[in-house]
Amino acid sequence: MYIYVDEFYNNLNKKKEKISISLIINTIYNLKKINKNLILSDKIIYFIIYLTKYECKFKLINKIINKIITKISYRLSKFLFISIKQKWVNIINISLINNVESCILDYFFKLYNLYLDKENSNNMTFKTIQAKNILGINIKNDRQIKKYFNLNIYHTTYYIDIMFSKLDLKYIRLDYIFDIKI
């Protein structure tokens, strides 16, 4: 950002208005009261100070902050989704280079069973519905889905984002999968 010398000197001569700290604290307190799990960064707090300086209404501040928070959370979730898929593809590539695809598939099915336990639906109909909707295949038992993934190991990436919506992210770390001692 460029600051021109004339503008700088003109701003020096202007009378500075002090903002009431209690007004800003009350605004932030009321925002947190409305949104229980709201976490405000420094930039958002500075933005709130800017809005209160120019006498913006509280309802408008609340709408603006909610819109900012939803955009940030959407972009973070999209980034998390892409990074999880990329990590899984890297793990598959490492397993293919080292000829341990069967170990990765076994690990994938352990994760899938763990996901089904957390989802409370460990029956075969749920698995067939998922396979039909995600992969477009008809399966009747676990052996068929294992055979399909054994032939098409990269198709496991379609399931990874669904599984990690319920599972903890520690399961996708390389040292957790391969038990690497560093």
pLDDT single digits (tens) 148-157: 888 889 988 8
In a domain, 62, yes or no: no
Cα-flanking dihedrals φ and ψ of residue 153, to 5°?
-70, -30
Angle at 89 between CA 88 and CA 91, to 5 degrees: 65
Q: Are residues 50 and 116 in the same domain?
A: no
In a domain, 66, yes or no: no
Q: Are residues 24 and 103 in the same domain?
A: no
- Residue range(s) defining the domain that contains residue 21: 5-56
pLDDT bin (cut points 50, 70, 90) of residue 7 is: low
Whether the CB-CB separation of 177 and 107 falls below 8 Å is answered with yes
- pTM recorded for the entire structure: 0.63
In a domain, 68, yes or no: no
Whether the CB-CB separation of 160 and 76 falls below 8 Å is answered with no
Q: How far is CA 41 from the centre of its chain?
A: 18
Length of the chain counted residue by residue: 182
The predicted-structure confidence for 50-62, as pLDDT tens digits, reads as follows 888 878 888 888 8
Mean pLDDT of the region 97-116: 88
Q: Closest Cα to residue 109, out of 158, 142, 152?
A: 142
Q: Are residues 39 and 98 in the same domain?
A: no
In a domain, 18, yes or no: yes
